[in-house]
């Protein structure tokens, strides 16, 4: 708003012809040599001095006029010859030049007139600027130190940045008596918003207006950062040229970056005139080396502010910068502390949860509050869990893929997702603002926070789309209109604050620790599982050897005894048979147990299973069984399946044998076996018309040693169905039973139709799943 520069205007910028003509007006602005304008403003004069003698080598053409003496720029005059030997100026400048002091500012009486002399070291020599003291300031200088002190005393009560800025604007207005003083703050894109204003009503209010970044090009901003105060007493001034035009030291234009009198570009003056301001002054607010904002003063009439008040303004600018910085830091520290407290609470809650994902959902309030978000999501292994207002699952997964592809290391954050990721438009209503933190190096696992679109009406100080124009001669003009122009800003969320981003990053570390810890626990658990598996193996081995042998011996001796004593009493014979039967049954139990435990340990040898053939074999092997005589078989089509043929045969055998066993008292026993293809699997059923069972006990049916019938009625060890269940489980299928007492039973099991990856036991989670095939 203050210094937009001009195009190559050869009269004011002698080197402009050396600057390539840029294709667009904006580029032209950025190329303008504003540090070397080749002239100064007329409210003072300037000279370049060199060497121990402080020889004058170049100066403003008005130097002689201002000092009221004859000046030659031919290298024949020294500072002494200009200001007179009686002034201590030359001696002071020499001492300063030899010191490390960056700048020089003193008052001197030269020919009974008081001058402010400011000095700085430039690349080409020592630049001294002379400004005659304005006698009207003399009376006020006592009061403005009082004003500054009062402001400093009162500023402690201004707790917020906004309140502080309002106070500063008023203070600055009192100090300078400009018609309007504004505090102007830059955003991330260097657009500026007037956040505080104090005026006397002469000029219109610009409070809350936004000005586009192009009003102050990058190089101008850079100068504002280096040289914090600029005064233009009148926009209607005629620049005073330098003499000679190029510096005799190096033949280059004189660098006026740090010169207070530096001439500003004609475009800027035109801008001021368009704006209706005849005079302006601006003081930069620089925080941590970065241009935070400006204190901008405007006047409807030409207005000169002398060096002493300017120094006070500069001082005020520095104080304000420090106070803003302190308040922003304090506010951020408070917020950090608050968020840290939330984080601690949340992590404590997660530690008690079975999984951090589920824990997050259960603690949704804290999770969202961690970054002051409206929605959140956690993505792990393609599973999405959400809280609050979050986009659809598919969008979150796509977003996770996109963020992952960007190779985000610690954190990704945006306030306008759709600007960086086109599909973000579809979810802008809930997720214009996004924070993503990766929680795995290998997988696309993220924690997301979302902020909704906040439709905002921005009032610009003029239409930013038409900020500059070139005339027929190709000359650049600043925009003419400062009529406020309203724009509706869409697809943007409230920006993320540093404290919120740090909170997200900290939380990421906590979660990663969490995940690592869980992984360690899992590893330990699997070690324990392996150990217990080994123990089980050893146990079943010893069962097989040491328990089986005695049963065999009992059976063997009972048999031998029977042979040795063929004339045993009937009762003795009965006892002996009992011994044999008991031993055989116990031996069978041991065999079944071993088989059952082996099933969990050995791997499946998968292949295509011809169920029709298996059923034929089962019937054949049952033919020796007395019980199956009289059974009416109804064998339907049995489509092939995918499995371990031996185990599948065992499973079907157990079911068919059961059907035979429990239907033997029916007249006639009927057994129906059939299969039915479904989309991914085949379901096989074995139905009988036997004794059936009470559905109330259905869940006990498949447990080891669970029997629903008395042992003397139906023989067996009670492992058969458990074994069948285990076989089907290992194939990723299901086994179900239906029945009613006295009305038979139907057992159905499923097997995969074709080869597939092993079925992994995953916790069903709310939210949704990605099909990862």
Partner 1 sequence: MTALRPILLVEDNPADIELTLAALKKAQLANEVVIARDGAEALDYLFSEGRFANREPGLPAVVLLDLKLPKVDGLEVLERVKSHPKYRTTPIVMLTSSREESDVVRSYQYGVNSFVVKPVDFKAFYEAIRDLGMFWAVLNEPVPGELA
Residues that bind partner 1 (CB under 8 A): 540-541, 544-546, 548-549, 551-553, 555-560, 580, 583-584, 587-588, 591, 594-595, 598, 602
Cα separation values, 458 from 211, 433, 462, 483, Å: 10, 18, 11, 13
CB of 650 to partner 1, least distance (A): 14
Q: Which residues contact 712 (CB under 8 A, 6 or more apart)?
A: none
Least separation in angstroms between residue 594's CB and partner 1 is 6
Nearer to partner 1, 15 or 544 (CB): 544
What is the closest distance, in whole angstroms, from the C-beta atom of residue 349 to partner 1 in the complex? 48
- Between residues 86 and 541, which has the closer beta carbon with respect to partner 1? 541
| 642-675 per-residue burial string, b: 16 or more CB within 10 A, e: under 16 | bbbbebbbbbbbbbbbbbbbbbbebeebbbbbbb
Query: What is the closest distance, in whole angstroms, from the C-beta atom of residue 347 to partner 1 in the complex?
Result: 47
CA of residue 228 relative to chain centroid, distance: 35
* ∠ CA 690-581-698, rounded to 5°: 30
* In the complex, least distance from residue 584 CB atom to partner 1, rounded to whole angstroms: 6
Tokens of 665: 């008292």
* In 391-441, alpha helices (H): 393-405, 417-420, 428-431
Nearest to 32 by CA among 463, 482, 478: 478
- Cβ at position 561, least distance to partner 1 in Å: 10
Q: What is the CA radius of gyration of the chain?
A: 46
Nearer to partner 1, 203 or 555 (CB): 555
User: What element of type H or E holds 107?
Assistant: strand 103-110
CB of 556 to partner 1, least distance (A): 4
Q: Which is nearer to partner 1, 73 or 551 (CB)?
A: 551
- Residues 179, 185, 186, 192, CA torsion sign: negative
Question: Would you say 149 or 534 has its CB closer to partner 1?
Answer: 534
Q: To the nearest whole angstrom, how small is the minimum distance from the Cβ of residue 689 to partner 1?
A: 32
499 vs 558, which CB is nearer to partner 1? 558
Would you tell me how many other CB atoms lie within 10 Å of the CB of residue 754? 10
Task: Tell the smallest beta-carbon distance from residue 589 to partner 1 (Å).
Answer: 10
DSSP reduced 3-state for 106: strand
Nearest to partner 1 of 313, 594 (CB atom):
594
**Least CB distance from residue 726 to partner 1, whole Å?**
17
CA dihedral defined by 96, 33, 189, 191, rounded to 10 degrees?
90
Closer by beta carbon to partner 1, 235 or else 594: 594
Distance CA 540, CA 535 (A): 9
SS3 content of the chain, % helix, strand, coil (to 5): 40, 20, 35
Task: Specify the residue, 525 or 549, whose C-beta has the smaller distance to partner 1.
Answer: 549
Distances (CA, A) of 588 to 584, 618, 651, 668: 6, 20, 17, 30
Residue appearing with tokens 């020919």: 111
DSSP reduced 3-state for 592? helix
Distance in angstroms (rounded) separating the CA atoms of residues 18 and 24 = 17
Q: How far apart are CA 117 and CA 131, in angstroms?
A: 7
Nearer to partner 1, 548 or 661 (CB): 548
The least CB distance from residue 392 to partner 1, in Å, is: 51
User: Closest CB to partner 1 among 159 and 553?
Assistant: 553
DSSP state of 504: H
Give the three-state DSSP class for 644. Answer: coil
């Amino acid at each position: 708003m203050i210094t937009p520069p001009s195009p190559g205007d050869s009269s004011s910028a002698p080197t402009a012809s050396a600057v390539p003509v840029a294709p667009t007006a904006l580029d032209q602005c950025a190329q303008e040599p504003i540090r070397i304008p080749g002239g100064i403003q007329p409210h003072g004069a300037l000279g370049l001095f060199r060497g121990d003698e402080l020889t004058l080598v170049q100066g403003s053409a008005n130097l002689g006029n201002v000092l009221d003496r004859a000046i030659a720029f031919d290298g024949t005059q020294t500072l002494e010859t200009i200001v007179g030997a009686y002034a201590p100026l030359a001696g002071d400048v020499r001492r300063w030049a030899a010191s490390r002091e960056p700048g020089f500012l003193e008052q001197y009486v030269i020919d009974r007139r008081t001058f402010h002399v400011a000095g700085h070291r430039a690349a080409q020599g020592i630049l001294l600027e002379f400004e005659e003291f304005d006698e009207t300031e003399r009376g006020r200088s006592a009061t403005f130190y009082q004003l500054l002190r009062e402001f400093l005393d009162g500023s402690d009560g201004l707790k917020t940045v906004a309140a502080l800025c309002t106070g500063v604007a008023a203070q600055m207005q009192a100090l300078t008596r400009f018609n309007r003083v504004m505090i102007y703050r830059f955003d991330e894109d260097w657009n500026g918003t007037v956040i505080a204003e104090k005026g006397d009503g002469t000029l219109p209010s610009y409070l809350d207006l936004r000005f586009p970044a192009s009003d102050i090009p990058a190089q101008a901003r850079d100068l504002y950062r280096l040289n914090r105060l600029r005064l233009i007493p009148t926009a209607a001034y005629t620049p005073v040229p330098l003499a000679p035009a190029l510096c005799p030291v190096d033949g280059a234009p004189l660098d006026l970056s740090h010169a207070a009198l530096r001439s500003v570009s004609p475009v800027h003056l035109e801008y001021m005139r368009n704006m209706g301001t005849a005079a302006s002054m601006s003081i930069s607010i620089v925080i941590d080396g970065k241009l935070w904002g400006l204190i901008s003063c405007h006047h409807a009439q030409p207005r000169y502010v002398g060096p002493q008040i300017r120094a006070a303004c500069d001082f005020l600018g520095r104080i304000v910068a420090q106070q803003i910085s302190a308040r922003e830091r304090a506010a951020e520290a408070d917020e950090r502390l608050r968020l840290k407290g939330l984080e601690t609470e949340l992590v404590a809650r997660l530690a008690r949860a079975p999984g951090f994902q589920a824990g997050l959902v259960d603690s949704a309030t804290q999770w969202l509050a961690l970054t002051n978000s409206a929605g959140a999501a956690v993505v792990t292994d393609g599973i999405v869990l959400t809280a609050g207002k979050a986009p659809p699952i598919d969008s979150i997964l796509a977003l996770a893929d996109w963020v992952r592809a960007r190779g985000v290391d610690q954190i990704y954050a945006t306030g306008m997702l759709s600007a960086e990721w086109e599909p973000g438009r579809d979810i802008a209503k809930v997720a214009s603002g996004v924070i993503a933190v990766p929680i795995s190096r290998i997988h696309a696992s993220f924690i997301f926070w979302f902020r909704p679109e906040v439709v905002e009406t921005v009032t610009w100080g003029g239409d930013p789309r038409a900020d500059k124009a070139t005339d027929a001669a190709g000359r650049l003009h600043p925009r003419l209109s400062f009529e406020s122009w309203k724009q509706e800003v869409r697809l943007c969320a409230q920006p993320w604050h540093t404290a919120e981003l740090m909170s997200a990053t900290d939380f990421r570390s906590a979660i990663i620790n969490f995940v690592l810890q869980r992984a360690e626990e899992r590893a330990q658990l699997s070690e324990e599982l392996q150990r217990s598996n080994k123990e089980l193996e050893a146990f079943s081995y010893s069962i097989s050897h040491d328990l089986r042998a005695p049963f065999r011996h009992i059976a063997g001796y009972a048999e031998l005894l029977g042979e040795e004593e063929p004339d045993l009493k009937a009762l003795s014979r009965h006892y002996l048979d009992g011994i044999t039967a008991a031993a055989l049954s116990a031996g069978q139990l041991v065999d079944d147990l071993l088989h059952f435990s082996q099933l969990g340990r050995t791997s499946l040898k998968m292949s295509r299973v011809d169920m029709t053939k298996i059923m034929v074999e089962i019937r054949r092997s049952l033919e020796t069984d007395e019980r199956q005589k009289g059974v009416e078989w109804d064998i339907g089509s049995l489509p092939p399946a995918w499995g371990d043929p031996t185990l599948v045969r065992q499973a079907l055998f157990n079911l068919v044998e059961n059907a035979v066993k429990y239907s033997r008292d029916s007249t006639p026993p009927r057994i129906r076996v059939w299969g039915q293809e479904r989309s991914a699997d085949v379901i096989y059923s074995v139905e009988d018309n036997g004794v059936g069972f009470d559905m109330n006990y259905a869940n006990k049916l498949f447990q080891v040693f669970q029997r629903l019938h008395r042992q003397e009625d139906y023989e067996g060890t009670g492992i058969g169905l458990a074994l069948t269940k285990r076989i089907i489980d290992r194939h990723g299928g299901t086994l179900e039973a239906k029945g009613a007492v006295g009305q038979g039973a139907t057992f159905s099991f499923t097997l995969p139709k074709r080869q597939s990856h092993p079925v992994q036991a995953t916790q069903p989670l709310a939210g949704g799943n990605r099909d990862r095939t």
